[in-house]
Structure 1
C-alpha cells in the first residue's frame, strides 16, 4: 500500500491542501494520503522538523513524506529527495532534513531535475506531487534527479551542562496546540546527570520540583479533591517524544491560557534544571 504524507504551513483557509491532494489522487488513485500537519507556523523550519521527526517513524517503511514549508526553489534552496531510515522525504534544501536526520545518516540524496518542469510559486503542486507519486509507484530516484552532496545543515539548540554538572540549561524548541512548552532537554540527558539528586526546574519565575510521566501524574488521588493539585496548576512531564515539557493541567490556550502564555515562555527561551 502506497502512503504519502503531507506536512505544510498552508493552513486550511486556502485551496492549497485540497489542490495538492487532488493532484496526488489524479496521478495515483490508489494511494493513501495522510495529513501530518498543515498548521506549521509560516516558514518555521525548526517547528516543521520537530513535528515530522516525531511522526515519521510511526509510518511503514517506504512511506513518502512531502514537506511543504519554505519550498520555493532558489539556487540556495534546491529541491531534493532524501532517502533515510527506510523513508523518503521530498523537500526543499531548507535545512529541515538535516534536523530530521541529525541522528540517522541519509542513505541517498538526489537533487530533483524533472524535464520541462517549472516549479513557479507552488512547487509542492508542480514538482513535489510528481516526484512523490513516482516514488510511491516504486520508481527509481535516479530517474527524477542526480546525486546531491550539499545538504544544508541546521543545528538544533543543544542543552548545556553548566555549574560543574549541577545544572542543565535548555531552550524552548516547540509550543503545541495546547500552549504546552517543549524543551530540548531529553529524558536520557536528565537522568544521566541527575544521579538520584533532588532538582528544581526553573522557567522564569516558576519552579517545578517533579517531572511526571503523564499529565494527570500531577494528581494525588489519595488526597481529598479539595487538597489535590489539578486544573490550572503547572507541571513538568516527559512527553511522548522523550523531551521535558511544561504544561498547565487541562488549560485552554484560547481562553484562560496555556503554559506558554501563563508562564511567559516563547520559542528559544531558557529553561534551567538545578540539581540540589
Structure 2
C-alpha cells in the first residue's frame, strides 16, 4: 500500500484533520498517513504550492498526496485526481494542480461526486479516493479524463546579461525570505563574475553557508537545501525587520571582472 500525504489549511485547533484521517483509517487501519503541514494559511494556494511542491518529490513514486487547501474554492464543486512524475494528487479545482505540475500533469480526471457541493469534500470525497489510489486503484475509475482545470502561473524570473530579477515566494516561520532565484540561475548568468543581492534598502555581496556565519541581528543570504536564494537575519525575523513579504522584489546584479 502506498503512502498518503496530507496537506491542509485546517489548522490545529479544530477536528477537521482528525476527521479526514478517521475516514481513511476506519476503512483501512493499516494505511500510512504522513502529515506535510496543516498550517497552510487559509485559502492560500501559493503557500500550499510552496510547501507541498518543496517536498513531494522526496517521497517514493506512487505516493498519494491529499491537498485539502481551499477545498471549497470552486463554486462548481469540481475536484480532481491527477498523476505527475509518478505521484498522485487529490485536490479541488482551484489552481493548485497547475502550480504543482507547471500546467503539465500526465493524467487528470474529474472526480465523480454524488453531491458536488458537499460541505466537507476533503473527508467525503478526497479521502476515499486517496485510499483507493494508495491500494493501487486506477485513476480512470474515479472519474472522467479531462484537460480542463483551473490554470495559475508561477512567477517567472527575469534574466538578463547583467541582472536577475525575482521575488519572495515564501516567508517561513522564522521570518526567512525564500525567493524564486536559484543557485543554478545565478551561476548561469555569473560566469565567474562578482555579484550583489539587492532587497529593500539592503545590499549583500556574499552567499554564506548558513545564517550563523554573521553576528546576531545581521542580515545575510544563503542557498537553502532546494538551491533557492534565501534572505535571513541571524536570530531575527527578516520579513518584519526588513518590511518584506510575499512577492517583494529581489534583484541580483553582476559586475565585470571577477
Tell whether the 8 Å contact from 1:167 to 1:272 is kept in structure 2 after alignment.
yes
Tell me, what secondary structure is at the counterpart of 2:26? helix
Where in structure 1 are there 5+ consecutive unaligned residues? 219-228, 252-257
Tell me, what secondary structure is at the counterpart of 1:67? strand
Report the Cα offset of residue 107 of structure 1.
2.1
Partner of residue 227, structure 2? 242
Cα separation, 2, equivalents of 1:199 and 1:107: 39
Tell whether the 8 Å contact from 1:73 to 1:79 is kept in structure 2 after alignment.
no
Tell whether the 8 Å contact from 1:73 to 1:119 is kept in structure 2 after alignment.
no
Report the Cα offset of residue 77 of structure 1.
5.8
C-alpha distance 118-159 of structure 1, shift in aligned 2 (>3 A)? closer
- Asked if 1:90 is matched to 2:69, the reply is no
Partner of residue 137, structure 1? 135
Tell whether the 8 Å contact from 2:77 to 2:116 is kept in structure 1 after alignment.
no
- Asked if 1:269 is matched to 2:231, the reply is no
Tell whether the 8 Å contact from 2:82 to 2:139 is kept in structure 1 after alignment.
no
Partner of residue 222, structure 1? none
Tell whether the 8 Å contact from 1:236 to 1:246 is kept in structure 2 after alignment.
yes
C-alpha distance 248-178 of structure 1, shift in aligned 2 (>3 A)? same
Partner of residue 108, structure 1? 107
Deviations 1:132-152 (A, max 9, x none): 111112112122101011122
C-alpha distance 248-77 of structure 1, shift in aligned 2 (>3 A)? farther
Report the Cα offset of residue 75 of structure 1.
5.4
Report the Cα offset of residue 178 of structure 1.
0.6
Tell whether the 8 Å contact from 2:204 to 2:220 is kept in structure 1 after alignment.
yes
- Asked if 1:42 is matched to 2:42, the reply is yes
- Structure-to-structure mapping, 1:66-85, within 5 angstroms: 66-72=66-72, 74=74, 78-85=78-85
Tell me, what secondary structure is at the counterpart of 2:231? strand
Tell me, what secondary structure is at the counterpart of 1:169? strand
Tell whether the 8 Å contact from 1:119 to 1:126 is kept in structure 2 after alignment.
no
Partner of residue 149, structure 2? 151
- Structure-to-structure mapping, 1:1-276, within 5 angstroms: 1-72=1-72, 74=74, 78-102=78-102, 105-114=104-113, 116-117=114-115, 120-162=118-160, 165-216=161-212, 218=213, 229-251=214-236, 258-276=237-255
Report the Cα offset of residue 117 of structure 1.
4.5
Task: Normalising by structure 2, report the TM-score.
Answer: 0.93
C-alpha distance 171-75 of structure 1, shift in aligned 2 (>3 A)? same
Cα separation, 1, equivalents of 2:216 and 2:226: 23
Tell whether the 8 Å contact from 1:237 to 1:245 is kept in structure 2 after alignment.
yes
C-alpha distance 180-73 of structure 1, shift in aligned 2 (>3 A)? closer
Report the Cα offset of residue 73 of structure 1.
6.2
Where in structure 2 are there 5+ consecutive unaligned residues? none
Report the Cα offset of residue 212 of structure 1.
2.2
Cα separation, 2, equivalents of 1:109 and 1:134: 16
Task: Normalising by structure 1, report the TM-score.
Answer: 0.88
Report the Cα offset of residue 207 of structure 1.
1.1
Tell me, what secondary structure is at the counterpart of 1:41? coil
